[in-house]
Amino acid sequence: MLNTLFTDSTGPAMPLLIVHGLYGSGRNWGVIAKRLSDRGPVTAVDLRNHGDSFWSDSHSYPDMAEDLAKVIDAQAGPMDVVGHSMGGKAAMVLALTRPELVNRLIVADIAPVTYTHSQIQFIEAMRAVDLSQVEKRSDAAAQLARIVEDPTLQAFFTQSLDVKGKRWKLNLDALAAEMDKILGFPEIGGTFDKPTLFLSGALSDYVSADHRPTIKSLFPKARFAKIPEAGHWLHAETPREFEASVRAFLDRDQ
């Protein structure tokens, strides 16, 4: 089963599952998970080929959704689910294929469509790091800076570095081979008829007005909201606003 990071709670709210995006991990969500745990228990996962979870040659959304289903089943589900980017797509496939396991769904800055921008350049940047010369994360960040200009992304990627083991905790080969699947979205019949929030960064172009008909066809109860001054990494760029938006949606009367 996926590696999980569990934050216990005495709060009465339904358990919450957090699903990270590409090149991320459950650890990236530790602060938000801890803050939201005043409502109820929170579980953040490491998706396959990420963090401390198992590696696999397959990185398809149906497979990732099945992994998430096992986590929820192990906790005697259902759960509320928050998924960002790739994790949002995995959460959407879970909701569409196993709706009984998902109570409410929040999809952060992604749509159920195929994107044309590649993320391969970041894999190449991580592969280019000479790990034999890395003694601390800042050493890796300095090497990444040759290709990745954004210091925020440099720091983000190095969170998936096992400095002592001198290895990436990302299956870069599998992620590169499966990039077309990651950028795409599988054809799935059916709909998810429960409350769903598509929460986007106002400065991001990942979810556009053109996507709304497709979203509504699969998630007829979808609502839409944007966080001002936030881009694609809205939970990292504006964590308090992101947390407030999640609370407002999950705590509202259904």
Point out the residues that are catalytic: 85, 173, 232
Q: Is 109 left (phi over 0), alpha (psi -120 to 50) or beta?
A: left
Identify the sign of the CA torsion 73, 249, 5, 87.
positive
Q: Report the C-alpha gap between 22 and 153 in whole angstroms.
A: 12
Taking CA atoms, 154 is separated from 101, 160, 215, in Å, by 35, 11, 32
Q: Report the C-alpha gap between 5 and 195 in whole angstroms.
A: 25
Angle between helices 86-97 and 61-74 (to 10 degrees): 70
